[in-house]
Amino acid sequence: MSQSSSHPSSLNIYTAIEANRRRTLILTASLVLFAGALVEVIGLALGLPAITAAIVAGIATVIALLVALGTYRSGDALVLSVSEAQATEREQYPDLYRTVENLCIGAGLPMPKIYVINDGAPNAFATGRDPKHASIAVTSGLIEKMSNLELEGVIGHELSHIGNHDTRLMLIIAVMVGWVAIVVDVFLRFTWYGAGARRRYQGRGENAGGAVLLLLAVVAAVIAPLVAWVIQMSISRQREYLADASSALLTRYPEGLASALEKIAGDKDPLDVSTKGTAHLWIAEPFKGQKSAFNALFDTHPPIQDRILRLRAMEA
């Protein structure tokens, strides 16, 4: 770390890779343990004996671990198929391929696979566990609405995510957050049914302890996705700034990305293929016009105007 503060670019990218590796580990470990703990609490709330609950929780932890490993290997395919991305050939989009190829040379990255999503909203994302297994997906709206220089800015941003190894972390987040949401949803239902059943069979007097645990379970079930989203949000924002800056460095033309972001922000088409689990993958917030104060709390991206301002400040 001691060298050359005058050349922040590469240093920052390698530091970013290191930080991403650490975050990926911490996040995966805590999500796995979190899943186990959640199952334990809910099990106790359901009135299972402590030992049974612990065994079930152990099994859940192992399953979560397997899911994490599966995510690492094949999560990109999942994310791409959820987003309805189609694999493409060079002949279909020669200009797009040339842009990606040239920027890859500039960034020293291998050529990623290119997918196109048939959606009018201009947006894009990158995924893959490392630069050798990376994919870039762009919407048909992006290809139609962007000029060449704007497209370069967007692709540069996505390639930076790949180069910084952001894609691996984002992949794990996407699939794990999805899983936490599903698990919580399932248990929430079971808890209601379970509680109802117990009440019917046990009578009223002895159920105070059960009620407390039930409350705990509900709280945990509500908090779980919130925690997951907060994690998702906090790591995502810094990454976007860094990827914007790296893109500007790569294309030597910050205005390209700035004006692309402006176009994306001004576009009225909502992106149909995005879900909560994949929201943080896209170059810009995919949920438009459905914003509430509550949603703002869990923004996956920094305000787009702020990103544009920062990019324009680079040109001075």
Which is catalytic among the residues 150, 152, 158, 285? 158
User: Which of 107/114 has CB closer to another protein?
Assistant: 107
CA-based nearest residue to 180, from 135, 132, 216, 232: 232
Q: Please state the closest distance from residue 237 (CB atom) to another protein, in A.
A: 9
Residues contacting 258, CB < 8 A, separation 6+: 153, 308, 311, 312
Q: Check if 158 is active-site.
A: yes
Q: Please state the closest distance from residue 201 (CB atom) to another protein, in A.
A: 56
- Distance, in Å, from the CA atom of 170 to the CA atom of 163, rounded to the nearest integer, reads 13
- Distance, in Å, from the CA atom of 31 to the CA atom of 16, rounded to the nearest integer, reads 21
List phi, psi (to 5°) of 134.
-105, 155
Name which of residues 7 to 36 contact another protein (CB under 8 A): 7-10, 12
Report, in angstroms and rounded to the nearest whole number, the Rg of the chain calculated over CA atoms: 22
Report the DSSP pairing between strands 85-87 and 124-128: unpaired
Residues contacting 302, CB < 8 A, separation 6+: 237, 240, 241
Q: Please state the closest distance from residue 191 (CB atom) to another protein, in A.
A: 40
Q: Is position 130 an interface residue for another protein (rule: CB under 8 A)?
A: no
DSSP E strand boundaries for 144-202: none
How many other C-beta atoms can be found within 10 angstroms of the C-beta atom of residue 224? Answer: 22
Q: Is position 314 an interface residue for another protein (rule: CB under 8 A)?
A: yes
User: Which of 24/191 has CB closer to another protein?
Assistant: 24
CA-based nearest residue to 93, from 113, 79, 108: 113
The site map against another protein for 220-249 (x = CB under 8 A) is: ------------------x--xx--x--xx
Q: Tell which one of 252, 275, 297, 305 touches another protein (CB under 8 A).
A: 252
Under DSSP, the state recorded for 121 is S
Q: Is position 118 an interface residue for another protein (rule: CB under 8 A)?
A: no
Q: Is position 4 an interface residue for another protein (rule: CB under 8 A)?
A: yes
Determine the size of the site formed for another protein (CB under 8 A): 32
The site map against another protein for 69-108 (x = CB under 8 A) is: -----------------------------x--xxx-xxxx
**Site residues (vs another protein, CB under 8 A):** 2-4, 6-10, 12, 98, 101-103, 105-108, 238, 241-242, 245, 248-250, 252-254, 310, 313-316
Give the residue numbers marked as catalytic.
158
